[in-house]
Amino acid sequence: MTMRAVINILFFATLSLTLAGCGHQTKRQPPPLAVSSTVVQRGDLPLRVQTLGQAMASHSVTIVPQVSGILQKVAIRSGQQVQKGQLLFVIDPATAAAQVAQDQANLQGEQAQERYDRQQVNAYQPLLKKDYVTRQTFEQSQSQQQSAAAAIAADRAALQAAQINLRHTQIRAPISGVVGLLQMRSGNLVTANTTQLLTIQQTQPMHVQFSLPEKYLGDLRQALAAGAGKVQIWDENHQKILATGLLTAIDNTVNTASATVTARATVANQDQRLWPGEYLQIEYTAKTLRDVAVIPATALQQGVSGPYVYHIVKGKAQMQPVEFLGQDGNRVAVGAKGLLGEQIVVGAPARLHPGMAVKANSTQ
C-alpha cells in the first residue's frame, strides 16, 4: 500500500469520528431574560388634572364716604385685619350735628303749631253746630291743622336724613377682611360718593378660580351636583400643598376661543396662606375610578391592536390585552379582572417578545 493511500485512510477516519461526535451534541437554550415585575392590585384611582389658578377674595368692598367733610381720624393702618363693624374713619361731625339740631328745632316748632291748630279745630266744632262760627272759619282751622301735620312729617324726614348723615361721619367696616394700603390721612377733604378711602378684601374664606378643557365639563357638573369636587392648591413650584378646597361654582358658558370652562373652588383659608391675586398650581380630582385593576404606568404597552401588558405565565411572558381606563401620575387603571393578583412585567426590555422565558429578579 502506498503512502498516499495510507494518508487518505487516516483523513477519512478522522473525519468520521468528528462527525460522529457532533451528532451527540444538544442545542443550547438562551438563559431567561431578567425583568422587573409586580402583582396587579385592586383599588381606587383618582383621576387628577393639573392646571393654573388664581386666588380671589370671596368678598371685596371699596369704601367711599356718604358725606363730604374733613377727615378727622384714621382709626386703622395699612394692611390691617379688621372685623365687621370696626371703626375705620371719622369725618368731622360738626356740620352734620348742627343740621340735626336745626331739624330737631324745626320739628318741635311744627309740633307746637300742630297742637294749637288741633285745639282750635276741637274748639270750633261744637260752636259750628250752634252757628257761633262760620263753616268757613272751621274749615280754615282744619286746613291749618292738616298743614301743620304735613310739616311735621317733612321735618321728621329731614331730621332722619340729618341723623343718618351724622352716623355716616363714622365709617365702619361692612365686612371682615384685610384692608389695602391707605392713601388718605387726617385733615384730607373727602367728597361724598366720590373719594375712595380703601378696599377691604375678605380672605376667609377664599375663592380659587381655574380653567379646564371643555371635555371635563360633564365631570365638573356631576361633581358640583354631588358636592364632591376636590381641589388641591399647590405653591407655584408645585412643591407644597397650601390648601384643599371644594368645587362650588362653574361658569355659565364655555370659552369658545380656548375651548375651556372656568370653575371656582372655595377654601377656608384659616391660616391665611392664600392671598388675593396670587397665582397657584391646581390639582383637580375629576373623578375617582372605584375597584379597578391598578398597575404602574411603565407596565402598560401600546401595540397595533391597542394597549396590553406582559403577563408572566409559568416563567414565560405572554401578551395580555387590557382596556385603558385612566391614569394618575405613574399609576394606571386598566380593565383586566382576570389579571388581579397575577404577575406582570414592569418596564419591559426592548428585546422582550411573547413566549420568551423570563426571570423576575425584582418586585415593584
Bond prior to 205 in cis (omega within 30° of 0): yes
Mean model confidence pLDDT for the chain:
87
Burial bucket for residue 330 (CB in 10 Å: 0-12, 13-18, 19+) = exposed
Q: Are 204 and 273 part of one and the same domain?
A: yes
Instruction: Give domain status of residue 180, yes or no.
Output: yes
pLDDT-based confidence at 342, cuts 50/70/90? confident
**CATH number of the domain residue 138 falls in:** 1.10.287
Instruction: Give domain status of residue 2, yes or no.
Output: no
Instruction: Give domain status of residue 4, yes or no.
Output: no
Q: Are 146 and 227 part of one and the same domain?
A: no
Q: Are 179 and 84 part of one and the same domain?
A: yes
Q: Are 82 and 175 part of one and the same domain?
A: yes
Digit-coded pLDDT (tens) for 270-290: 999 999 999 999 999 888 888
**CATH number of the domain residue 276 falls in:** 2.40.30.170
Q: Are 211 and 260 part of one and the same domain?
A: yes
**Stronger pLDDT, 71 or 235, i.e. the higher one:** 71
Digit-coded pLDDT (tens) for 212-270: 999 999 989 999 998 888 999 998 888 899 999 999 999 999 999 999 999 999 999 99
pLDDT-based confidence at 11, cuts 50/70/90? very low
What's the pLDDT at 10? Answer: 45
Q: Are 280 and 301 part of one and the same domain?
A: no
Does the pLDDT value for residue 17 go beyond 50? no
Does the pLDDT value for residue 206 go beyond 90? yes
CA 359 to chain centre: 49
Q: Are 260 and 204 part of one and the same domain?
A: yes
Instruction: Give domain status of residue 9, yes or no.
Output: no
The residues, ordered by sequence, that sit 6+ positions from 285 with a Cβ below 8 Å of its Cβ are 46, 47, 48, 229, 230, 231, 232
Q: Are 151 and 262 part of one and the same domain?
A: no
Its pTM stands at 0.70
**Matching residue, cell 348723615:** 165
Instruction: Give domain status of residue 10, yes or no.
Output: no
Looking at the DSSP bridge assignments, the partners of residue 232 are 244, 283
**Does residue 340 sit in helix, strand or coil?**
coil
Instruction: Give domain status of residue 74, yes or no.
Output: yes
Q: Are 85 and 133 part of one and the same domain?
A: no
Q: Are 325 and 350 part of one and the same domain?
A: yes
**CATH number of the domain residue 334 falls in:** 2.40.420.20
Host domain of residue 306:
33-45+291-363
Instruction: Give domain status of residue 146, yes or no.
Output: yes
Check residue 99 and give left, alpha or beta (phi > 0: left; psi -120 to 50: alpha).
alpha
Q: Are 316 and 329 part of one and the same domain?
A: yes
Q: Look up residue 287 and give its amino acid.
A: K
DSSP secondary structure letter of residue 216: G
Q: Which helix (H) or strand (E) holds 351?
A: none
Instruction: Give domain status of residue 11, yes or no.
Output: no
Domain count, the chain: 4
Q: Are 88 and 174 part of one and the same domain?
A: yes
